[in-house]
Homo-oligomer: A and B are copies of this chain.
Amino acid sequence: MSGEKPGLTHIDASGEAHMVDVSDKTETVRIATAEGRVKMAPETLALIRQGNAKKGDVIGTARLAGIMAAKRTADLIPLCHPLMLTKVAVEIEEDAALPGLRVTATAKLTGKTGVEMEALTAVSVACLTIYDMAKAADKAMEIGSIRLLEKSGGKSGDFRHPEAR
């Protein structure tokens, strides 16, 4: 990674924040996958699992919140372009080693801009929703490891996180 070359595309010549002009970019298929984790006490994970065994609600609610948030990305992130996602998928699975839950989100479209932010926003809001639904039992939970696992499509080419499994 050589930060000096690409620079900060959202900062224009005079240093002011701006939305990058993507008018002349080509429409290509773009996919991005991101992940994040919610670390919690083992008892909290047990509570969620138990609830999950019955009706799956913490995980089901967090999945939906993540999907819906992906559609709101351009409303939340000031310089993101509005775009029309053709797919958003959010998966949440237990990670006994944390202990806690691991959230993975994939966003996809055919368009002029990448969907990294949509995948990352889905992950973040799913994690926040997990926190919200379990916070009565455990306020010390920690959300972390939110990162882009991989992306494809677009001029900047493919990316795969160096630490991705």
Q: Which A residues contact B (CB, under 8 angstroms)?
A: 1-4, 6-11, 14-23, 25, 29, 36, 41, 43-44, 46-48, 51, 54-58, 60-61, 63-65, 67-69, 71-72, 74-90, 108-112, 116-117, 120-121, 124-125, 127-129, 131-148, 151, 156, 159, 161-163
Residue on B with the closest CB to A109?
Answer: B23
* Stoichiometry, copies per complex: 6
The interface residues of chain B lying within 8 Å CB-to-CB of A56 are: 55-56, 60
Closest Cβ of chain B to A26, distance in Å, is 12
Classify the interface of chain A: helix, strand, loop or mixed: mixed
A51 contact from B8, B18, B41, B108, Cβ within 8 A: B8
For the A-B complex with A21-B108, A71-B75 known, give 19 more contacts whose Cβ atoms are closer than 8 Å: A7-B47, A7-B137, A8-B134, A10-B132, A11-B51, A15-B55, A19-B89, A21-B87, A25-B86, A55-B60, A60-B61, A64-B78, A76-B128, A79-B129, A83-B84, A120-B131, A124-B125, A139-B148, A140-B161
Q: Is the CB of A61 within 8 A of B79?
A: yes
CB distance from A151 to the nearest CB of B (A): 7
When distances are taken between beta carbons in the complex, the residues of chain B under 8 Å from A80 are: 132
Q: In the assembly, what is the distance between CA of A63 and CA of B137, in Å? A: 23
Q: Which 5 A-B pairs have the closest CB atoms?
A: A3-B43, A144-B144, A15-B55, A15-B54, A143-B146
Supposing A3-B41, A8-B134, A8-B137 touch, asked if A65 and B77 sit within 8 A by C-beta, the answer is yes
User: A47 to B41, alpha carbons, bound, how many Å?
Assistant: 38
In the bound complex, CA of A145 to CA of B37 (Å): 10
